[in-house]
Amino acid sequence: MWGDISVRVREFAVMIPPLLLALAAHEYAHAWTANRLGDPTARAQGRLTLNPIAHLDPVGTLALLFFRFGWAKPVPVNHLYFDHPRRDLMWVALAGPLTNLGLAAASALVLRIIGGFSVGPSLFWLVSPLVLMLRWSVIYNVILAIFNIIPIPPLDGGRVLSGLLPPRQAATYSRIEPYGMLLLVLLILSGAVGIVMAPPINLIITLLL
């Protein structure tokens, strides 16, 4: 029993740091991009930070940890500050997934660099957890990126699709946003999200690792 508990503790110890970084970086990217485009709302609410505590949604974090999909607290964005609201909202939305893919690629690169060195037994205890954290960083960041580009508002993919559609169609599409999370939950429970997400996630992770 105690052996099982210690194993789980060690697993969580290497899984949680990359998870928190992936979530915080995703939301920070939204906040930073919005701020650069003229919207200070996120900065004023303390969201322009890599401190994960400012971004965590308890349910979304647990979902990502246990079910391999999840979310953080959405960054507040006020489109009235933007010179080109539709275009700028699309860039703010894209910033999160693109940052996650960048972190996944950077983690994979560091893994390859570490793999090129011969590590003796005296350093194995230090390098082994780092390698596991980097592998989880690749996995979590790819999952976050792919999950968030699902074109259902309020996910980032829904914002991007709204920015690409003609204004009239975008306005019609945006009307499903109040029901977006319910629709997403139903798709997740039905297994449809997993079926759609699995191929690109597995392909990207395989290419990186």
Q: Which two tokens stand for residue 127?
A: 């390098």
Measured in degrees and rounded to the nearest 5, phi and psi for residue 120 equal -80, 170
Q: Is the distance from CB of 130 to CB of 111 less than 8 angstroms?
A: no
Distance CA 114, CA 62 (A): 30
- With contact defined as beta carbons under 8 Å apart, do 131 and 116 qualify? no
Rg over CA atoms, the chain: 19
Helices (H) and strands (E) in the chain, counts: 9, 0
Terminal Cα-to-Cα distance of the chain (whole angstroms):
33
Peptide bond into 154 cis (omega under 30): yes
Active-site residue list: 27
